A and B are shown apart, each in its own frame.
Chain A
Amino acid sequence: MLFYSYFKTLVGKEITVDLKNDLSITGTLHSVDQYLNIKLNNIKLANPAKYPHMLSVRNCFIRGSVVRYVQLPPGSVDVELLHDATRREARGG
């Protein structure tokens, strides 16, 4: 549940989600669930000309399993907190 808890701290922030089909979507994180499914609002595509069908979509749900990366806003990463949470998780906490 570490990353679920972490992504909840990012709600309301702008993130970029890179999908396994090479789509790259930037938007405001609306919500996340325990499967790391992600809902984004006010989305923008890195390459809109290649995916014109996405222009009619403003808000979307991304299935967690198709995510390759999430690019995180630098100001929202507290490495000490992440280290502590990771050690707690590794102990089975």
Chain B
Amino acid sequence: MAVSIGGLRRERVPISKEKLAKHDKGEGIDLKAKSTRIKNKVIRQKLKRKEVVYNNTVKDTARTELLLTEDYGCLEADCGEVTVQYKQKQIVDNVDITAAAKRFTLNLEFGPYYIKYTRNGRHLVLGGRKGHVAALDWVTKKLACEINVMESIHDVSWLHIETMFAVAQKDWVFIYDNQGIELHCLKAMYKVSRLEFLPYHFLLASGSKEGYLAWLDVSIGKFVNSFNSKVGKIAVMTQNPTNAMLCVGDTKGVVSMWSPNSKNPLAKMLCHTQTVAACAVHPYGTYMATSCPDRSVKIWDIRQLAGPMHSYYVRAPVEHLSYSQTGQLAMAMGNVVEVYRLSTDEMKPYMRHRADWTVTSMQFCPYEDILGIGTTKGVSSLLIPGSGEPNFDGLESNPFQTKSQRREAEVKALLDKIQPELICLDPVAIAEVDTSTFKNKIETKNSVLYLKPKNIDFKPRRTKAKGKGGTAKVVKTKKILKELSRKETIDMLRQTDSRSDTRKTKPQKDYGILNRFLPKSNKKSN
């Protein structure tokens, strides 16, 4: 494509194939004159014009990558060294002061800690098992609130904005605002062990110790669905961010995927032969990692529900897993955290950190090179270069959001709230042709062929008139009715048959007057 600027013809910057593939929207419609299935010329012309627009859109969006300002973080080892051997201390010494400030440790005493970052990676909420809850802007280290709920805490989760978070306490789930004021007590979420928030659907999902799954629409305060998943205690639960399904790992080694629309899992994967200890899904929905107490870690292709892509054993059983935006996988085994990078064929350890205490929860911070870990005695953040996406989209999630922007974004997000009915395995199903219902229609039509005529349950009226009643008469009427209904059914069958049978019959030879001696089936076709 060429553009003329000030009389000079300038070629536009070429786009690499990888970039085009990244932004590709899939194959277009086949509109070639020979092979196309669209007969109408006018429609074909219209579609052609549309295809051109789509292709240009793909090119233009791919070209905008030129304008991205930030670059990925990186860590390169010197000759004879490997990146695994670098300690956090060394990295902190070698980076600039603002990045160094992001490495911190909080020593707290309310024991094992659960942490969650907001979607823009700016805020952190931490909950200690012994009742300690704190929300803070971890970049500026500004504390929003700190309370003790005087109950055991099992999980924490942010809601759609940083002014509200949910805490799974001893019995019920509570929602607090960023000043620590209790807003709601959700008694319908009972003995919850895991919380997840689905931001585009505004659903707070919970899995309980008794195996119940519940989805609460936080925008209208209504429970979408709640049922017993029958997998026992839900100790491992995570969400697939691309299709909003909940992945629940059970003690039999099965990871099941749940949507609020069905009481049975939409998919089940037998991942291990023992209990699933941890499960993590790539933020872009490509891979799922699972671990097992037998020290194995497996990577699955979650889009095709196939795998394992990789399967191997580590030195100690992995208790927690977390994926970063660039696809780095963090594993926590006891007090050791290892970060792996997925190279083309093999998983290689990239960084290792030995925490002071056992790691109890772990999450990569979005849009930052940070891995947050909660331990039995506090919370700390580790620098993992190259783990975060450098260029955020200001309209999707913005770490530098101001209050007014946040309010604006909240309204926009609420307008775009996706209905829970749309949660299914394939996130683009809504934009595709609904072939399944059409198939169903055809099937029901075909099933008519196997119908039997209705049973006639005939009960005669009692008449006292002379010569009108009598058993013989009743039997006769019954017979007539039966015959009628049989005829009706045959008629119906014939109609469907004639529609479905479009095969052409071979023209038969005409024998003139002797046609009457032909077998019946042949006569019909003549």
Q: Do A and B bind each other?
A: no
| Interface, chain B (partner A; CB < 8 A) | none
| Interface, chain A (partner B; CB < 8 A) | none
